[in-house]
Structure 1
Amino acid sequence: MQVYEILESNECHREEAWANVPGVAVAQYCTFFENLYLLYRHNIASIDDLDDIFGYRSFLFTNNPYVQEHYILPTSSSYVQIFKLYRIWIRHRKKENEGMEGWQRNVPDARYRFFCGLPRTQVVSFRQRPG
């Protein structure tokens, strides 16, 4: 819960907010989302269902620049399923929002989202998306 509490705070992009969070707590959060990918891959849960329940929390975590820089990127080879799930989830949200007028599914901190157009073998870099 400590990770989620920080993500929900207005300080979630600041290093000071993460100072007392043990790395294992962030690793557990990553592992949770990796398990969601396995549920999807084995047709136990649809992306629609996962999105309804966990979409907000997932994007809040993966699109956080501090989390990206200090936790996910340095150990990116350990969290391959997070990247796979993220790619599927972004495509799902984009498809869901196409042609919709009015309310659309929000992607928290979308300005920091992963670039999903890279070949699967290329290292994904995190940076602020242009304009």
Structure 2
Amino acid sequence: MTAPRFKKTFTTAEFADVCGLDDLRHLTARPGVDLDAALGRPHPLLIDLDRPQDTDSLQHALYFPQDDAETPVAFYVLSRIAPTLRHIGWLPDLVRLKSRTIRTAPGTGQASASSREGRHPQSSEPGFSATRL
């Protein structure tokens, strides 16, 4: 078994495959939280969790209110810790379906419906931070 390597650029579909689409949707449904491109200007057409694109790779960033201490930790767990634990067999693999991602563990296959409202404020604005993958 080889150690997992952390890839920095993904298509949105690949990123959702690694982290779990429903988990990302749940995280971005929080007030003031948005997933977008890490570098340059926002890419609303590339970062859409309702229709994850699978053509353009980019570095993703999670934008969240500066006083939110929970969201960056949850994002780190989703994007770094959980994929590593799945790789070594300590967490079950994700089952990929056409329109959603569910876990294979019993009782955890509930899909959550969420919608994204608006775009994130620029991370340079006071009161907002960003965490890049």
Instruction: Calculate the TM-score normalised by the size of structure 1.
Output: 0.28
Which one has more relative contact order, counting CA pairs under 8 Å at least 6 apart? Answer: 2
**Structure number having the greater helix percentage:** 1
Instruction: Using structure 2 for the length normalisation, give the TM-score.
Output: 0.28
| Larger fraction in strand | 2
